[in-house]
Structure 1
Amino acid sequence: MTDPNDFFNPYRHHFVRAAVAVPEVRVADPEFNAHQTITLMRRAAEEKAALVVFPELGLSAYSCEDLFHQQALLTGCREALAQVLQETAQLPLLAAVGLPLQVDGLLYNCAALLHRGRVLGVVPKTYLPNYREFYERRQFTPGEYTTREAIELGGQTVPFGPRLLFQAEDEPLLTVHLELCEDLWVPVPPSSYAALAGATVLANLSASNVTLGKDDYRRQLVANQSGRCLAAYLYSACGPGESTTDLAWDGHALIYENGTRLAESERFADQAQLVVADLDLERLAQDRLRQGTFADAVRAHREAVAAFRTVRFRLEAPARGFLPLKRPLERFPYVPADPQRRDERCREVYAIQVQGLVTRLKATGFDKVVIGVSGGLDSTQALLVCARAMDVLKLPRAHILAYSLPGFATSPRTRSQAQRLMAALGCKAHELDIRPAAERMLQAIGHPHREDKPVFDVTFENVQAGERTSHLFRLANLHGALVVGTSDLSELALGWCTYGVGDHMAHYHVNASVPKTLIQYLVRWAAATGQFGAQASQVLTEILETEISPELVPGTHDGQPGQRTEAIVGPYELTDFFLYYVLRFGYAPAKVAYLAWCAWHTKTSGAWPDIPEPQRHQYTIAEIKHWLGVFLKRFFGLSQYKRSALPNAPKVGSGGSLSPRGDWRAPSDAAATAWLARLAEIPDQEARCTQAAVDPPAATRQE
Structure 2
Amino acid sequence: MDFYSLYSHGFLRVAACVPKARVADPAFAAQETISLAEAGDASGTAVMLFPELGLSSYAIDDLLFQDALLDAVEAAIARIAEASRTLHPVLVVGAPLRRDGQLYNAGVVIHAGEIVGAVPKTYLPNYREFYEHRHFTSGAGATGMIAVAGRTVPFGTDLLFRAAGSAPVTFHVEVCEDVWAPLPPSTRAALNGAELLLNLSASNITIGKADTRRLLCASHSARAIAAYAYSAAGPGESTTDLAWDGHAAVFEYGDLLAETQRFPTGSVMASADVDLGRLRQERMRINSFGDCRREEAGRGPAFRTVTLRLDAPGRTVPLARNVARYPFVPADPSRLREDCYEAYNIQVQGLAKRLVASGAQRAVIGVSGGLDSTQALIVAARAMDFIGRDRSAVLAYTLPGFATSDATKANAWALMRGLGVTAEEIDIRPAARQMLADLGHPFAEGAPVYDVTFENVQAGLRTDYLFRLANHHNGLVVGTGDLSELGLGWCTYGVGDHMSHYNVNASVPKTLIQHLIRFAAASGDVSAETVAVLHAILATEISPELVPAGDGREIQSTQQIVGPYALQDFNLFYLTRYGYRPSKIAFLSHAAWSDAARGSWPVDLPDGDKRAFDLREIRHWLEVFLKRFFASQFKRSTLPNGPKITSGGSLSPRGDWRAPSDGDAKVWLEELAANVPEV
Task: Note if contact 1:401-1:429 (Cα within 8 Å) is conserved in structure 2.
Answer: yes
Task: Note if contact 2:619-2:678 (Cα within 8 Å) is conserved in structure 1.
Answer: no
Match of 1:694 in 2: none
Change in CA separation of 1:556 and 1:614 when aligned onto 2, cut-off 3 Å = farther
1:445-484 to 2 correspondence within 5 Å? 445-450=439-444, 452-484=446-478
Match of 1:239 in 2: 234
Change in CA separation of 1:531 and 1:97 when aligned onto 2, cut-off 3 Å = farther
Match of 2:292 in 1: 297
1:582 matched to 2:575:
yes
Task: Note if contact 2:436-2:444 (Cα within 8 Å) is conserved in structure 1.
Answer: no
Give the Cα separation in 2 of the matches to 1:119 and 1:536.
69
1:54 matched to 2:50:
yes
1:571 matched to 2:564:
yes
Task: Note if contact 2:97-2:148 (Cα within 8 Å) is conserved in structure 1.
Answer: no
Q: CA RMSD in A?
A: 1.6
1:114 matched to 2:110:
yes
Match of 1:690 in 2: none
Match of 1:663 in 2: 656
Q: Which amino acid aligns with 1:424?
A: G
1:399 CA displacement: 1.2
Deviations 1:181-237 (A, max 9, x none): 000001110000000000000000011111121111111110111000100000001
Match of 2:220 in 1: 225
1:414 matched to 2:408:
yes
Task: Note if contact 1:250-1:267 (Cα within 8 Å) is conserved in structure 2.
Answer: yes
Give the Cα separation in 2 of the matches to 1:612 and 1:392.
30
Task: Note if contact 2:247-2:262 (Cα within 8 Å) is conserved in structure 1.
Answer: yes
1:263 matched to 2:258:
yes
Task: Note if contact 1:193-1:305 (Cα within 8 Å) is conserved in structure 2.
Answer: no
Task: Note if contact 1:12-1:319 (Cα within 8 Å) is conserved in structure 2.
Answer: no
Q: Which amino acid aligns with 2:190?
A: A
1:303 CA displacement: 3.5
1:672 matched to 2:668:
no
1:326 matched to 2:312:
no
Q: Which amino acid aligns with 1:210?
A: I
Which residue among 11, 16, 28 is the counterpart of 1:32? 28
Match of 2:641 in 1: 648
Task: Note if contact 1:368-1:401 (Cα within 8 Å) is conserved in structure 2.
Answer: yes
Deviations 1:612-648 (A, max 9, x none): 9984111111111100000000112x11110000000
Task: Note if contact 1:329-1:606 (Cα within 8 Å) is conserved in structure 2.
Answer: no
Change in CA separation of 1:20 and 1:675 when aligned onto 2, cut-off 3 Å = same
Q: Which amino acid aligns with 2:276?
A: L
1:134-149 to 2 correspondence within 5 Å? 134-144=130-140, 146=142, 148-149=143-144
TM-score normalized by the length of structure 1? 0.94
1:656 CA displacement: 1.0
Q: 441-450 or 42-51: which moved more? A: 441-450
Gaps of 5+ in 2: none
1:528 CA displacement: 3.8
Change in CA separation of 1:74 and 1:607 when aligned onto 2, cut-off 3 Å = closer
Match of 1:206 in 2: 201
Task: Note if contact 1:593-1:682 (Cα within 8 Å) is conserved in structure 2.
Answer: no
Task: Note if contact 2:326-2:511 (Cα within 8 Å) is conserved in structure 1.
Answer: yes
1:527-542 to 2 correspondence within 5 Å? 527-542=521-536
SS of equivalent residue, structure 1 residue 44 = helix
Give the Cα separation in 1 of the matches to 2:543 and 2:601.
23
1:324 CA displacement: 2.4
Match of 2:5 in 1: 9
Which residue among 310, 332, 335 is the counterpart of 1:315? 310
SS of equivalent residue, structure 2 residue 660 = coil
Match of 2:500 in 1: 506
Match of 1:95 in 2: 91
Which residue among 177, 192, 197 is the counterpart of 2:192? 197
Task: Note if contact 1:258-1:284 (Cα within 8 Å) is conserved in structure 2.
Answer: yes
Q: Which amino acid aligns with 2:211?
A: D
Which residue among 546, 549, 552 is the counterpart of 1:555? 549
Task: Note if contact 2:12-2:167 (Cα within 8 Å) is conserved in structure 1.
Answer: no
1:610 CA displacement: 4.3
Give the Cα separation in 2 of the matches to 1:542 and 1:336.
24
Deviations 1:90-132 (A, max 9, x none): 1011000000001000000000010001111100000000111
Change in CA separation of 1:556 and 1:448 when aligned onto 2, cut-off 3 Å = closer
Match of 1:80 in 2: 76
Match of 1:276 in 2: 271
1:588-627 to 2 correspondence within 5 Å? 588-602=581-595, 604=598, 609-611=603-605, 615-627=609-621
Task: Note if contact 1:179-1:204 (Cα within 8 Å) is conserved in structure 2.
Answer: yes
1:216 matched to 2:211:
yes
Task: Note if contact 2:372-2:505 (Cα within 8 Å) is conserved in structure 1.
Answer: yes
Q: 6-15 or 152-161: which moved more? A: 152-161
SS of equivalent residue, structure 1 residue 279 = strand
SS of equivalent residue, structure 2 residue 341 = helix
Give the Cα separation in 2 of the matches to 1:283 and 1:605.
25
Give the Cα separation in 2 of the matches to 1:607 and 1:421.
34
Which residue among 482, 487, 506 is the counterpart of 2:481? 487
Q: Which amino acid aligns with 1:447?
A: H
SS of equivalent residue, structure 2 residue 672 = helix
Give the Cα separation in 1 of the matches to 2:601 and 2:385.
34
1:89 CA displacement: 0.8
SS of equivalent residue, structure 2 residue 423 = strand
Which residue among 623, 630, 646 is the counterpart of 1:629? 623
Name the % identity.
56
Dislocated runs of 4+, deviation >4 Å: 605-615
Which residue among 329, 332, 344 is the counterpart of 1:335? 329
Gaps of 5+ in 1: 687-703
Deviations 1:298-331 (A, max 9, x none): 111113475101111110221533x321222110
Q: 101-110 or 151-160: which moved more? A: 151-160
Match of 1:127 in 2: 123
SS of equivalent residue, structure 1 residue 450 = helix
Q: Which amino acid aligns with 1:640?
A: Q
Task: Note if contact 1:109-1:140 (Cα within 8 Å) is conserved in structure 2.
Answer: yes
Which residue among 363, 370, 373 is the counterpart of 2:357? 363
1:583 CA displacement: 0.5
Give the Cα separation in 1 of the matches to 2:295 and 2:86.
43
